[in-house]
């Protein structure tokens, strides 16, 4: 009787691990896709890399600050 209960507990544990791994791996893939969404551009004046979201766009070039833009 104890062997049957232990085998049932092991079976339930294996099913739990199987489903937990699937949801965990899909969460990891989803998080990694969200973090890489911005690209870096090089300022033509001072050669510093700046993110496109934080840069100043002028004449098709990305500048890191107003001083480099002048």
CA distances 55 to 1, 43, 51, 67, 70, Å, are 70, 9, 6, 12, 14
Same domain, 21 and 51: no
Better pLDDT: 14 or 18: 14
Say yes or no to pLDDT of 20 above 90: no
Q: Does residue 65 share a domain with residue 50? A: yes
Residue 42 and residue 30 in one domain: no
Same domain, 58 and 46: yes
CATH number at residue 64: 3.30.60
Whole-angstrom Cα distance, residue 48 to residue 53? 15
Predicted confidence (pLDDT) per residue in 32-67, tens digit: 555 556 788 999 999 999 998 889 998 889 999 989
28/43 same-domain check = no
- Domain housing 68: 38-70
Q: What is the pLDDT of residue 36?
A: 59
Please give the tally of structural domains in the chain.
Answer: 2
């Amino acid at each position: 009787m104890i062997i049957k209960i232990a085998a049932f507990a092991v079976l339930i544990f294996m099913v739990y691990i199987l489903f937990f791994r699937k949801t965990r791996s899909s969460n990891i893939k989803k998080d990694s896709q969200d973090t890489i969404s911005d690209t870096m551009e090089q300022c033509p004046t001072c050669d510093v890399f700046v993110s496109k979201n934080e840069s100043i766009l002028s004449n098709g070039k990305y500048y890191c600050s107003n001083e480099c833009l002048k």
